[in-house]
């Protein structure tokens, strides 16, 4: 008889404020259900070690000019049609939460973030981005930067954008690399997780508005696309 996976519920704020506590628990087999005001919004699961560790990456589609308008579904998905053999391999752009939220919510850097999303050939991130983005959208609603109706539309559009990305699970390999990067690059826990994700998907470009994360990635030789850069 199969043994049920142990499960706990964690509020999104608790997860964000105490991120370093949870990766080891997930890697030990615990399933974490992320909640917002008591409602489940996401799950964190251990990556199957027998699965292919490099995700299928998503193709970018034109983002919404407004949180109320769903992103256009241009037919640029990975695997559509035949790629001519003489073309170079597509460039993978890793998108962190700071850029993802700018695509969804009008704020400084939004126009450049949306252009970055639109022109990217392949998009990737870690599953943590879904939780961080929900937390950021909830904060925007509480701060009255989003009305309740616009918040609901932004959350719906977040799901659409996540479907356009290749998402890396928080597994043992990523956790180990993130821990090493947190020490060697003096990064906060969530920044180290994102940088480990960049390296795992072998991204060429990091799209981020986080100065510490951009600096660490640049020192590793990655190209940086910061929508706030002058």
pLDDT in tens, the chain (230 residues): 444 557 778 887 787 777 767 777 777 777 788 887 777 777 777 665 434 444 545 554 544 445 545 444 333 333 334 444 555 678 899 999 999 999 999 999 999 999 999 999 999 999 999 999 999 999 999 999 999 999 999 999 999 999 999 999 988 899 999 999 999 999 999 999 999 999 999 999 999 999 999 999 999 999 999 999 86
- What CATH number should be reported for the domain holding residue 167? 3.40.50.1010
In a domain, 93, yes or no: yes
Q: What is the pLDDT of residue 34?
A: 83
In a domain, 177, yes or no: yes
In a domain, 16, yes or no: no
Nearest alpha carbon to residue 174 among 137, 116, 128, 133: 128
Q: What is the pLDDT of residue 52?
A: 45
Q: What is the pLDDT of residue 88?
A: 67
In a domain, 52, yes or no: no
In a domain, 155, yes or no: yes
Q: Is the pTM of this model over 0.85?
A: no
Q: What is the pLDDT of residue 44?
A: 76
Q: Check: CB of residue 171 under 8 Å from CB of residue 92.
A: no
How many domains does the structure of the chain reveal?
1
In a domain, 18, yes or no: no
List the domain range (segments joined by +) for residue 72.
57-225
Residue 192 DSSP label: H
Q: What is the pLDDT of residue 78?
A: 36
Nearest alpha carbon to residue 200 among 85, 26, 47: 47
Q: What is the pLDDT of residue 16?
A: 73
In a domain, 29, yes or no: no
Q: What is the DSSP string of 148-200?
A: HHHHHHHHHHHHHHHHTSEEE---HHHHHHHHHHHHHTT--HHHHHHHHHHHH
In a domain, 34, yes or no: no
Positive or negative torsion for Cα 218, 223, 224, 230: positive
Q: What is the pLDDT of residue 59?
A: 52
SS3 92: strand
């Amino acid at each position: 008889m199969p043994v049920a996976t142990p499960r706990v519920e964690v509020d999104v704020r608790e997860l964000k404020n105490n991120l370093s506590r949870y990766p080891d628990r997930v890697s030990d087999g615990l399933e974490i259900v992320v909640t917002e005001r008591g409602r489940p919004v996401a799950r964190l699961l251990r990556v199957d070690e027998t699965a292919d560790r490099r995700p299928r990456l998503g193709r970018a589609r034109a983002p919404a000019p407004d949180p109320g308008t769903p992103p256009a579904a241009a037919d640029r998905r990975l695997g559509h049609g035949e790629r001519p053999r003489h073309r170079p391999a597509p460039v993978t752009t890793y998108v962190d939460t700071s850029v993802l939220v700018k695509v969804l919510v009008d704020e400084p850097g939004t126009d450049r973030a949306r252009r970055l999303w639109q022109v990217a050939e392949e998009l990737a991130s870690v599953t943590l981005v879904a939780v961080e983005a929900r937390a950021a959208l909830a904060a925007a609603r509480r701060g009255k930067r989003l009305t309740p109706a616009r918040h609901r539309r932004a959350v719906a559009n977040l799901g659409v954008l996540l479907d356009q990305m290749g998402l890396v699970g928080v597994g043992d390999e990523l956790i180990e690399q993130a821990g090493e990067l947190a020490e060697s690059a003096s990064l906060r826990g969530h920044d180290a997780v994102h940088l480990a994700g960049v390296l795992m998907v072998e991204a060429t470009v990091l799209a981020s508005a986080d100065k510490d994360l951009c600096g660490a990635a640049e020192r590793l030789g990655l190209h940086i696309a910061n929508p706030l850069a002058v």
